[in-house]
Structure 1
Amino acid sequence: MKSEIIKLGKNVLVAFLLVSGVLVAQESKVNVKESKLTVLGTSNLHDWHANAEVMSGKGTFVSEGNTLKEVKSLNFVLTSEGLKSGKSGMDKNTYKALKTETYKNIEFKLLSVAKITKKSEGVFAVETQGNLTICGVTKKVNQTFTVKVTGGKYLLSGKQTIDMTTYGIEPPTALMGTIKTGKDVTADFSVTYN
């Protein structure tokens, strides 16, 4: 008798969820093959960039169909020596500046979501605050990014400008200091969680 009541209760719950909209909380991981992050910088000689080849992360998103309702958790980890410019000398200077022998990763961890705004069908602007850790230094940053919800995937895209000196990083130089990089870099990202 007790098992029949439990079974009836489950059936009623399933029927209710089918009739009403279904909210789905889904833990997702970074899909590296569908993700891209590029660090853009300047110098007194020319602009430069480095692409992230090693990254990971997890997020828990709550959606109803293609409507984003909530971002419960989010983290993103970039392996510092996974940044590649295509120029070994420049990469070596970057790793030295990032102190990669001691600090292997750069990480963003969500603290709170201030606002989710629908931009178009399945596309949302998400205003957040999180901790960004670089070279062992953690700072709170405000980060607004776009989330496109489609078929169980969450595509996050946006840009974040970072003043390297606030993380104790001396902007790299080359050729005995004659080439100097600017203190600001921009992370331009398009990262898929599924």
Structure 2
Amino acid sequence: MFFAGSLLAQDVTLNIQGQPQMHIDGEANVRNWDAAVEQVEGTLVMAEVEEMTLENLSADLFKEMTLTIPVKSIQARSGGLTKNIHKYLHADDHPNITFTLNEVNGISVEGESAIITASGIINANGVDSDVTIQVTASLNADGSINFRGEQELLMTSFEIDPPTAIFGTVRARDEMIISYNVNFN
């Protein structure tokens, strides 16, 4: 009987729904810069549960998660900055930035949302970088799951030298912040 129950338990694959919101913010010694991510693809595989609630959300429910961002979908307000972002990320050789979940390390429920701590790998510019992220998760009325948060990353973690211009008088800072708000259904 136990074996038959194991066969019936199935994983559920969720995909990104609607238009995800993702934004990159950085600083330079002269002015700040930012870019929008216009396309994000992703899947989340979770163990099936009878009813998804924040209270029954546990680390072992998360089987796998991948996000893919086409580099050329990153668009800044100025065409010159957009071209530089694509150039520094070597878009022709490495057309995608990916995130792969390794493990959910902890979940704590706080009111109408849960704080999820997880580890994973971001690959950008053809370079893998281990990250630990904190994500705020909530359940939407339509049954989808919302993940939102901010993640600080360093350009040098992906073997990108922070850009300079005008003979080095304009220098970008190594740190950048990725803000995201994504629904999976």
Q: TM-score range by the shorter chain?
A: 0.7 to 0.9
Name the counterpart of 1:153: 144
Specify which of 121, 127, 131 is matched with residue 121 of structure 2.
Answer: 131
- How far apart in 1 are the matches of 2:166 and 2:138? 43
**1:37 counterpart = 2:22:** yes
Specify which of 134, 142, 154 is matched with residue 132 of structure 2.
Answer: 142
Decide whether aligned partners of structure 1 residues 102 and 44 sit closer, same or farther in structure 2, where only a CA change above 3 A counts.
Answer: same
**1:53 counterpart = 2:38:** yes
Q: Deviations over 1:5-43 (max 9, x none)?
A: xxxxxxxx9xxxxxxxxx99531111242x101000001
Equivalent residue letter for 2:101: L
Q: CA deviation at 1:166?
A: 1.8
Q: CA deviation at 1:177?
A: 3.7
Native 8 Å contact 1:97 1:171 kept in 2: no
Percent identity of the aligned residues?
Answer: 23
Q: CA deviation at 1:172?
A: 2.2
Pairing 1:11-30 to 2, within 5 Å after superposition: 25-30=11-16
Native 8 Å contact 1:32 1:55 kept in 2: no
Specify which of 88, 92, 99 is matched with residue 97 of structure 1.
Answer: 88
For structure 1, the 5+ residue unaligned runs are 1-12, 14-22
Stretches (4+) displaced over 2 A: 23-26, 61-70, 172-179
- How far apart in 1 are the matches of 2:157 and 2:52? 41
Query: Alignment length, in residue pairs?
Result: 172
Q: CA deviation at 1:140?
A: 1.3
The structure carrying a bigger helix percent of its residues is: 1
Name the counterpart of 1:65: 52
Q: Which has the larger radius of gyration?
A: 1
- The alignment's C-alpha RMSD in Å is 2.0
Equivalent residue letter for 1:44: N
Q: Which shows bigger deviation, 125-134 or 166-175? A: 166-175
TM-score by length of 1: 0.81
Specify which of 154, 161, 164 is matched with residue 163 of structure 1.
Answer: 154
For structure 2, the 5+ residue unaligned runs are none
Name the counterpart of 1:83: 74
Q: CA deviation at 1:130?
A: 0.4
- How far apart in 1 are the matches of 2:43 and 2:68? 9
TM-score by length of 2: 0.85
